Chains A and B, each alone.
Chain A
Amino acid sequence: MANKIPRVPVREQDPKVRAANFEEVCYGYNEEEAVLEASRCLHCKNPRCVSACPVSVKIPEFIAAVAAHDFETAASVIAEDSSLPAVCGRVCPQETQCEGSCILGVKGESVAIGKLERFVADWSREHGAKKVEKAQPNGHKVAVVGSGPAGLACAYDLAKWGYEVTVFEALHKPGGVLEYGIPEFRLPKERVVAAEIADVKAMGVKIETNVVVGRTVTIDSLFDKEGFSAVFIGSGAGLPRFMNIPGENLNGVFSANEFLTRNNLMDAYRDDYLTPVMHAKKVVVVGGGNVAMDAARTALRLGAEVTIVYRRTEVELPARREEVHHAKEEGVEFRMLSNPVEIIGDEKGWVNGIRCIRMELGEPDESGRRSPVPVPGSEFEIEADSVIMALGTSPNPLIARTTSGLETTRRGCLVADEDGVTTRPGVFAGGDAVTGAATVILAMGAGRKAAAAIDRYIKSL
């Protein structure tokens, strides 16, 4: 039986070596490994993995093609539902989605769906496999705000159906969080991100960088002056949160967004780029999500000893399991059930430590997770010359404030239904701008649903 084969391990860079470089950690499967792993799939009649995938990739179908050595077919099966497979194969939280629903995982190990997706996407890119056909131009213009996963997915589908799509990006490079947020060692920029964006452009999508919607142009001017029939807002969740504890504005305290943007978008870790980044000796990262792991592992690679401080326990860590595992292997220290109360500075205003309090888990909160409560009198200090706050983000209010008729929630997220329909006709939204900080794949899924809704909307005009 197929499931007697153990899950094929994936080759990775040695933890000691990779802790000092920015090369990709995971090498991925080769053809032989991929075919063997693909043969483990049971091809369930009612595949739970597909319904657990936010974009419903036909997983058993593409895996069957891999098992049959037909990688080109596998690629085109995936391409029907996903425009960024090389990205998703690398950064999706598979353990809570497709792989988490795999029937093999009940008693043993699930099929390595993410690694197979990555293999197919990489193979297809390296072999220049044939891409999806594009419809005749239909004469309608759609504007997409933001070139992150939501915007790219939306633009790709619309272009495929014949729309003339322009994506407006605020930064100087397209990709959104794929470019500024996720580090090179997890998601190679040139080889993967730039290549996937090139595919979207090859579909006819125009990407205009350096346009801040809400400042450079407005949603109204896109409709009134530039002739767009609909606008999709996928502007992401930009504003970093802080804790509002004393010492947060000391020199050496950064948001994870700043620290990662300097390294990823601005290449500060490279000598031949001018943007500076602090090379700290002891770094404390506050938070337990993927962004916290990314910041910690980046600081480590810049030469620091790194401690992650998180107020709950390891079970509640919201980061992908693989990232936590990799961070530990590389030597990141974890201080669980600890919450910062103050950042301590020296006489010149630079960080020299962080004071935390021990926590214990109390009653479950509205998210169902047991909420941490401080243990009185348990304060302790950790020495540090830099503190990185990775506490999540909230949506950038710029677009909502400059667009009439666009409602937001109390938290500042754009109000939109399942299909991305906002409170203003012709304006659609999806991704973190609607949900608050979430995942690449959820944003992509939202972008695709909105694309379909935009298509229906324009046809109804």
Chain B
Amino acid sequence: MYKILTKEMLSPAICRMKVLAPRVASSAHPGQFLIVRVNEHGERIPLTISDFDADEGSVTIVTQKIGASTKEICALEAGECFEDVVGPLGLPSDFVEKLDGELAGSRYIFIAGGVGTAPVYPQVKYLKAHGAYVDVIIGAKTAGLLIYKEEMAAVCDHLYVCTDDGSEGFKGMVTGLLEKIVLEDGNRYDQAVAIGPMIMMKFATLTAKKLGLPIIVSLNTLMVDGTGMCGACRVTVAGKTRFACVEGPEFNGYDVDFDEAMRRQGMYRREEIEEDHKCKIR
């Protein structure tokens, strides 16, 4: 059992939890994920790691209510427990492998969408600690859905915000804001990283390509075990089938077949709607 130390709602549909999982906390790196199970009857739900503290033995996860299982997660309170927490899973971000001196002075731009903003945070923190220059774009439909603004502003060089409806910051999509920052404001970057909904990562990649900017994306595919055993997470990258859980979750955006990845994400939509419906009438 893995105790929830703190819980807060970041928006009506997004919650942040700090969970006691000492083994995960002491091995975690930016870019990795973990899998939780609420109870004996629950699904194994992959979530990106939003922060980790080896001394405290805690990991931070951010969950958005989407289906039956994520609603169950968000219904848990501090003091309650997850039945299971396993991780860290997947490969750390590429930059974790780089030598200390290599990162100093490199210029990163992060493009974060919705709940995908949370896992950007440990990456920015790591890069800043290793001397990189880091700007961050956070996008959401509307101001009320923006998360991690203060946290991100505290660690990055420059924070840009955009909302689809213009209720806060730049009015428009992250892609529009990225183009503006690079083309109009004249900012130059060595590397872009996009984490968010698959559709956002697809278009962020197209924009990055147009700008001649290399881009890494973090794929939130379907998973069961998360250790390479089932292949539910397979994605086509550079024409080859790869397992996002063990060979990812981060890949070169240029190489990812996003249309296939989006189609595969919807594989159990019908079953999920039924499950969700059942829960409501229970």
Contacts and interface: CB of A to CB of B under 8 A. Distances in A.
Contact of A274 (B23, B235, B275): B275
B40 to A, nearest CB: 8
Contacts of B224: 258, 261-262, 266, 275
Interface stretch (A12-20, A212-220, A321-329): A212-220
A240 B72 CA distance: 31
Interface string B37-59: 10001111000000000000000
B271 interface: yes
B30 to A, nearest CB: 15
From B72, B88, B227, residue with most partner A Cβ within 10 Å:
B227
A86 B240 CA distance: 42
Interface residues of B, number: 41
A251 B275 contact: no
Contacts of A408: none
Contacts of B43: 266, 274-275
A273 B232 contact: no
A363 interface: no
B272 A258 contact: no
A261 B225 contact: yes
DSSP class of A's interface residues: helix, strand, loop or mixed?
loop
Interface string A135-170: 000000000000000000000000000000000001
Contact of B84 (A172, A216, A217, A274): A172
A249 B264 contact: yes
B193 interface: no
Given A217-B23, A274-B41, A251 B236 contact: no
B263 A257 contact: no
Interface string B203-246: 00000000000000000000011011111101110000101001
A216 B44 contact: no
B228 A398 contact: yes
B227 A248 contact: no
Given A170-B86, A172-B37, A216-B88, A238 B263 contact: no
A254 B246 CA distance: 18
Contacts of A210: 84-86
B250 to A, nearest CB: 15
A274 B38 CA distance: 11
Contacts of B231: 239-240, 242, 254-255, 257-258
B103 interface: no
Nearest to A252: B267
A212 B243 CA distance: 17
B24 interface: yes
Given A266-B44, A276-B268, A276-B271, A257 B229 contact: yes
B37 A217 contact: no
A171 interface: yes
B271 to A, nearest CB: 4
Contact of A258 (B227, B232, B246): B232
A249 B234 contact: yes
B230 A255 contact: yes
Complex A-B, nearest 4 residue pairs according to Cβ-Cβ distance, in ascending order = A276-B271, A258-B230, A210-B86, A276-B268
